């Protein structure tokens, strides 16, 4: 059966044992819309909805923000079991601003793809001349014109910690390893700004006090992690600290605005 494995979760945010559905997900987080594939059974839908709901509750707690942060002020749509890509358990589609989980979605994909959605959403919020589909991380690397704001400055510090070394003058170790992996694979993927930042965000989420391996997994013991494609050591600590400062400030500002 799809999604029949047990997913590990350690969180202080436990809900009542009554079932939740995707309608509950949409209502709580104010997603723009939720679409379920026609081949998804009621049992599969119920199982996935509970896992997804709990993962988003945990992500919200880790980021110290309100529900509107998760749905990016109601601009983000969600799909389950429809419009997937072969061999990919989850993806973010910039054109429709949609986060999608495949029917056989594996654990650990949500944090990565959600950060892609945030990164895309922030493109024209953090930069005055970023093209519509450009992610904020790429705009930063391309020296787009920043919009002055203290919270944006904290975001730029996150990008700097991911892509540059401590001096701020040279590429980071994460970039160096990512570039080597791309050369071996004959493509550019791991070293793309959006991908490096999404993997760094995964590490930040996995290092948080809340554990949920449906939300995030694989930043420490997988082959990619052993290759250095996730931040390690001092750089990981530095990145985690910058993400913490950014999301603390962002969450506080959003809570005050509600």
Q: Does residue 91 share a domain with residue 126?
A: no
Note the pLDDT tens digit of each residue in 211-248.
999 999 999 999 999 999 999 999 999 999 999 999 99
Identify each DSSP E strand in the chain by its residue range.
9-10, 34-36, 77-80, 90-93, 98-101, 211-212
Residues 104 and 66 in one domain: yes
In terms of domains, do 134 and 253 share one? yes
Of 113, 136, 158, the residue at which a domain comes to its end is 113
- 123 with 109, same domain? no
Which tokens hold the place of 160?
């700097």
Same domain (yes/no): 171, 185: yes
pLDDT of residue 87: 53
* Domain membership flag for residue 154: yes
Q: Which residues pair with 91 in a beta bridge?
A: 100
Same domain, 109 and 133: no
In the block, residue with structure tokens 């990565």: 112
Nearest by Cα to 140 from 121, 72, 250, 152 = 152
pLDDT in tens, 52-104: 999 999 999 999 999 999 999 999 999 988 755 555 678 899 999 999 888 76
Domain assignment of residue 95, given as a range: 14-113
Q: Does the pLDDT value for residue 46 go beyond 80?
A: yes
C-alpha triplet 21, 22, 27: angle, nearest 5°: 105
Domain count of the chain?
A: 2
Structure tokens at 137: 């991380």
Q: Is the pLDDT of residue 28 over 70?
A: yes
Backbone dihedral region of 97: left (phi > 0), alpha (psi from -120 to 50 degrees) or beta?
left
pLDDT at residue 107 above 80? no
Q: Is the same domain home to 106 and 135?
A: no
Confirm whether 69 is domain-assigned.
yes
Asked whether residue 251 falls in the same domain as residue 128, the answer is yes
Looking at the fold, whether 250 and 131 belong to one and the same domain comes out as: yes
φ, ψ for residue 53, nearest 5 deg? -60, -50
Do both 92 and 136 map to the same domain? no
Tell me, yes or no, whether 88 and 191 share the same domain. no
Distance, CA of 166 to CA of 238 (rounded, Å): 9
Residues 139 and 201 in one domain: yes
């Amino acid at each position: 059966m799809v999604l029949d494995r047990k997913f590990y979760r350690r969180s202080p945010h436990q809900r009542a044992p009554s079932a939740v559905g995707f309608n509950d997900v949409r209502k709580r987080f104010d997603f723009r819309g939720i679409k379920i594939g026609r081949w998804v059974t009621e049992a599969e839908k119920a199982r996935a909805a509970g896992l997804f709901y709990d993962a988003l509750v945990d992500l919200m707690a880790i980021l110290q923000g309100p529900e509107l942060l998760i749905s990016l002020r109601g601009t983000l749509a969600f799909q389950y079991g429809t419009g997937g890509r072969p061999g990919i358990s989850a993806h973010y589609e910039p054109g429709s601003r949609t986060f999608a989980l495949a029917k056989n979605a594996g654990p650990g994909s949500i944090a990565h793809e959600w950060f892609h959605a945030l990164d895309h959403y922030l493109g024209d919020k953090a930069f005055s001349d970023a093209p519509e589909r450009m992610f904020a991380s790429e705009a930063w690397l391309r020296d787009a014109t920043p919009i002055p704001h203290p919270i944006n400055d904290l975001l730029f510090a996150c990008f700097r910690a991911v892509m540059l070394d401590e001096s701020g003058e040279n590429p980071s170790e994460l970039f160096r390893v990512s570039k080597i992996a791309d050369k071996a694979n004959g493509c550019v993927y791991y070293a793309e700004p959006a991908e490096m930042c999404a993997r760094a965000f995964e590490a930040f989420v996995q290092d948080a006090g809340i554990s949920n391996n449906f939300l995030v997994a694989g930043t420490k013991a997988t082959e990619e992690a052993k290759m250095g494609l996730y931040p390690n050591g001092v750089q990981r600590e530095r990145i985690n600290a910058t993400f913490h400062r950014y999301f603390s400030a962002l969450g506080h500002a959003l809570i005050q605005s509600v």
